[in-house]
Structures are given as structure tokens and as C-alpha cells.
Amino acid sequence: MSVSVLYMAMSLDGYIAGPNDEPDNPGGDGFMRLHEWFIGPDGEFARPSGPAGELYDEVMDAPGAVLAGRRTVEQVDHWGGDHHGRPIFVPSHRPPGPSVANYPLVTYVLDGIESAMAQAKAAAGGPERAGARRVHGATGARGRGAG
């Protein structure tokens, strides 16, 4: 059996993006404040210390697959086609743009979020945590992506 993990940062008042969230300003104004807990002194993402580091290890080191909404993946250019070596599934109502052909680990699923989750689950393989699917973005979470 595999599990789903909703993986996103949220402010204490429930926001996941700041004002002016646009493609040239992913996450909006002040968005990176939600991620400061795992940004190293050099400004790059890094493993934090303490309990936050343990959470980071659990999420980043377990194999699996990623389900992410189209807006999320397009704003980050599909993570360059590689999200820590895991396949990425994107539920969408329309086919991807031509640049996705450069990213063999990215699959757009056009027949619903349930199908996208089933494909992510199959790609994750393995029992329990080894088959965890990471769900990124509000669209995936709202669409039963975390269920």
C-alpha cells in the first residue's frame, strides 16, 4: 500500500502565495518567506538542522512520484524536468506545450485527477513510504490529490 503526502508551505493564516502571483513572479510577493526554513546561508535550498531536517529527510529521501498542478509546474518550468529523480504527473484539461518533450519524467494526464493519481501511484511502486506520492500545489490538493 502506498501513501500520499501533501507537500506545500503555508503561512499560519492559511496563505500559500503572496499578492501578485504571476508567471514572472512565482508565488507572488514575499513568497520565499514561506521557504526560509530550508534555505542555507548561500541562498540555496539546503537541509535544515534539527526537527526540520528530519522532516526534510523524510520527504526528500523517500522514493516515489510527484503529482502537481499545471500552474505550479509551469511557473517552475517543470523543475527542469527532474524533481529529485521522481516522475512528475500533471493533471490538465489541455496538452502540454512543446518544451515538455525535453522532460521525459514529466507526464501530462488529460483524463482527470483520479487517473493522474493512479498513474503516480503505479509509478511510485513499492510498499508504504517507498510508494509515497508527493502532491504539490493547491489544485492537486483540492482535487483529492492528497487522498
Task: Classify 86 in phi/psi space as left (phi over 0), alpha (psi -120 to 50) or beta.
Answer: beta
Per-residue pLDDT averaged across 85-97, rounded?
Answer: 93
Residue of 147 and 23 predicted with greater confidence: 23
Q: What pLDDT, on a 0 to 100 scale, did the predictor assign at position 36? A: 82
* pTM beyond 0.85: no
Residue of 141 and 118 predicted with greater confidence: 118
Q: What is the DSSP letter of 63?
A: -
Q: What pLDDT, on a 0 to 100 scale, did the predictor assign at position 130? A: 41
CB atoms within 10 A of CB 74: 18
Mean pLDDT of the chain: 80
Q: What pLDDT, on a 0 to 100 scale, did the predictor assign at position 88? A: 93
Q: Does the domain at residues 2-142 carry the CATH identifier 3.40.190.10?
A: no
Query: Residues 44-57: pLDDT tens digits?
Result: 888 888 888 888 88
Sheet containing 106-109: give its strands across: 2-6, 128-136, 64-68, 88-91, 106-109
Q: What pLDDT, on a 0 to 100 scale, did the predictor assign at position 102? A: 93
Euclidean distance between CA atoms 92 and 109, whole angstroms: 6
Given a cut of 50, whether residue 66 has pLDDT beyond it is yes
